[in-house]
A and B are shown apart, each in its own frame.
Chain A
Amino acid sequence: MARLSMVDAINTTLHELMAKDDRIVIMGEDVGVDGGVFRATVGLLDKFGPDRVIDTPLAESGIVGAAIGMAVYGMRPIAEIQFEGFMFKAFDQVYSHASRLRRRSQGLYGVPLVIRAPYGAGVRALEHHSDAPEALFCHLPGMKVVIPSTPAEAKGLLTASVEDPDPVVFLEPKRLYRLFKEEVPEGEYRIPLGEARMVKEGKDITLVTYGGMVSVCERAAQHVAGEGVDAEIVDLRTVWPFDIAAITKSVTKTGRLIIVHEAPRSFGVGAEIAALVAERCLLSLLAPIKRVTGFDVVPPLARLEEYNYPDSDRVVRAIHDTMQF
């Protein structure tokens, strides 16, 4: 096994998947000659040529729309959108078509498309370079949304996303791209979509999270462990459709739930989880469900970003509140 950063794990995975399946085509802005602004597609053009690694014009709606056309034709396109905030220009194609074509064709064909984009805050950009728009895509019937939390997870989840017969938005926490390395399995490695990961077992309180917030929750769990609180951490990794069975199983055990995400709170993923937990295991709850999230604001510049981006202190405070209820 090799020790890789998340961006290197993604690059390696793309190399391996393309070598194995010649239906896979990559398209996006600066993905070829340049190798991507975050270097995720480095070397692919040299290895697979311009027919399979396509530098596109600046036209996000066109990129995703053309990728849909390739997908329904039988190819396996991977469209890269340079930053998550530029995806909104392609939202029409995702909302109106990618998510609907299986249904519209009465199941005759789907759209085996992966849209990759760097995701989220923590890199001192702002606005469109720091957005966390996952809930927008979760809200579309027919879409899957995946956000990895480690390099190895990125490999397994990207493989499953590319192999999936339906469209997947694959959001890569850009703060994690080079934050740390870990052992990444060599060769074929897939993590089934829709299955959560038990990051840490615990008996007192459940933290449900994903992406860049997993390590934040791990730090918070370490902190409260010193106070005798045993927190369980569930990494959703497939943000939608999420693993409700894993969540309810954990909450039934601990009786307490905090959902942690960097996206704005209102109408977010946390709200959906809270609703489902209330429907399915209300009587197991020993305290109100809490959410630690970004505020309902556009990601601001650096200093205010620190206030907006959930940190382990905020998670620890939420754990204290919940335990003391």
Chain B
Amino acid sequence: MKFPGIYEELFYKALRIRLVEERIIELYPSDKIQSPVHLSIGQEAVAVGACQSLKQTDLLFCSYRSHAFYLAKGGHLREMFAELYGKATGCGHGKAGSMHLAAPEVGLMGSSAVVASTIPHAVGAALAAERLKKPQVIVAVFGDGATEEGAYHESLNFAALHKLPIVLLCENNGLAVHSKLEARQAYRITDQAKSYGLPVAYLADGHDVVKVHEVFSGIVGEVRRSRCPHFVEIRTCRYKEHVGPDEDSHAGYRSVEELQAWKSKDPLILNQELVAQYRPVILQEIDDAVEFAERSPWPERSELLSDVV
């Protein structure tokens, strides 16, 4: 697909992710989605802006909220829907579900339900790339909550000590399930990362997809050149509940105004002209992917015992 400029291209990619997740929300009550879902709605621009700066051979390690990164890195939509349906044609053969999406063929090396647990894997991959003199950049994606875990600090230290070609990308949505960041952290994330000697970038507006792309491109270019680790924190907002398809303003842990402030600068809401232009072609693709998932077979019983050792 041809785009008049980078804004339109990034907008299209972000809108695609949003419409995919809105379809998941529509489908959820039908019970066809077999997996718990942690939706990225509101955070799409981070994934799109970041992945636009990466080559397919660059590797990404994600968390359980990874639909956006899976799609932005080039994972197949049909295989994603099939995975959510628990079908044999899914990217995890219907065994992994939404929390463990992977598309190694495009560099998405895995995602995990356990907070912060894939950050060391990214560090290890960067160590391997460095030792084998591959020109790859490795990216670890994690949320603000992950910075409270021991594995996170072990990883930052390791990456900094060994000067590894890794971007540590913190998607800060300010929430861990229902706990706000202020109730959980005695430190500032960027200050803390600086204490390991890492160059640090901070972006206050995770909706500005072009800016995310510019900043991230600069960082990726620098890592590719210098083979040294960089840290970037991008503020963003998850619109939906921690897990599941619903809003959660009734839960009382964040104000409607807070959410509204983010929505009021969301290009995917503001620019309805572009939404109207791209929506039909994206919906067509989504229809096809859902149809693929619907008609795909369930995994055979024997699949239960496959790929164990």
Chain A interface residues toward B at CB < 8 A: 29-30, 33-34, 37, 55-62, 82, 85-86, 88-89, 124-129, 295-298, 300-304, 307-308
Interface 9-mer from B5-13, B144-152, B162-170, B263-271: B144-152
Interface 9-mer from B71-79, B175-183, B274-282, B283-291: B175-183
- For the A-B complex, the count of residue pairs with Cβ-Cβ distances under 8 Å equals 105
B36 with A125: CB separation less than 8 A: yes
Residues of B within 8 A of A61 (CB): 150
Residue B35 contacts which of A62, A297, A302, A307 (CB distance < 8 angstroms)? Answer: A302
| Main SS class of interface, A | loop
Interface centre among A56, A295, A300 (most CB of B within 10 A): A300
Count how many chain B residues have C-beta atoms less than 8 Å from C-beta atoms of the other chain: 37
Q: Beyond A30-B177, A126-B100, A127-B96, list 9 extra A-B contacts (CB 8 Å).
A: A33-B183, A34-B253, A55-B183, A56-B184, A61-B150, A125-B36, A128-B113, A296-B308, A302-B35
A33 with B114: CB separation less than 8 A: no
In the complex the two chains form, what is the Cα distance from A29 to B184 in whole Å? 9
* Whole-angstrom distance between the Cβ of B306 and the nearest chain A Cβ: 9
In the complex the two chains form, what is the Cα distance from A60 to B117 in whole Å? 12
B150 with A129: CB separation less than 8 A: no
Sample of 11 A–B contacts (CB below 8 Å):
A30-B178, A58-B148, A62-B150, A124-B34, A126-B95, A126-B97, A127-B97, A129-B36, A298-B308, A300-B94, A301-B34
In the complex the two chains form, what is the Cα distance from A34 to B250 in whole Å? 12
Do A58 and B253 form a contact, CB below 8 Å, given A29-B176, A295-B305?
no
Which residue of B is nearest A34, CB measured? Answer: B178
Residues of B within 8 A of A56 (CB): 184
Chain B interface residues toward A at CB < 8 A: 34-36, 86, 94-97, 99-100, 113-117, 145-146, 148-151, 176-179, 183-185, 251, 253, 298-299, 301, 303-305, 308
In the complex the two chains form, what is the Cα distance from A88 to B115 in whole Å? 12
Which residue of B is nearest A62, CB measured? Answer: B150
B113 with A129: CB separation less than 8 A: yes
In the complex the two chains form, what is the Cα distance from A174 to B147 in whole Å? 28
In the complex the two chains form, what is the Cα distance from A33 to B254 in whole Å? 12
Which residue of A is nearest B36, CB measured? Answer: A125
Residues of A within 8 A of B179 (CB): 29-30, 33-34, 55
In the complex the two chains form, what is the Cα distance from A296 to B304 in whole Å? 9
* Whole-angstrom distance between the Cβ of A51 and the nearest chain B Cβ: 15
In the complex the two chains form, what is the Cα distance from A261 to B177 in whole Å? 31
Which residue of A is nearest B150, CB measured? Answer: A61
Residues of A within 8 A of B308 (CB): 296-298
Do A302 and B34 form a contact, CB below 8 Å, given A58-B149, A89-B149, A295-B305?
yes
B304 with A58: CB separation less than 8 A: no
In the complex the two chains form, what is the Cα distance from A49 to B151 in whole Å? 31
Which residue of B is nearest A37, CB measured? Answer: B177
Residues of B within 8 A of A57 (CB): 145, 148, 184-185
In the complex the two chains form, what is the Cα distance from A33 to B35 in whole Å? 27
In the complex the two chains form, what is the Cα distance from A30 to B50 in whole Å? 31
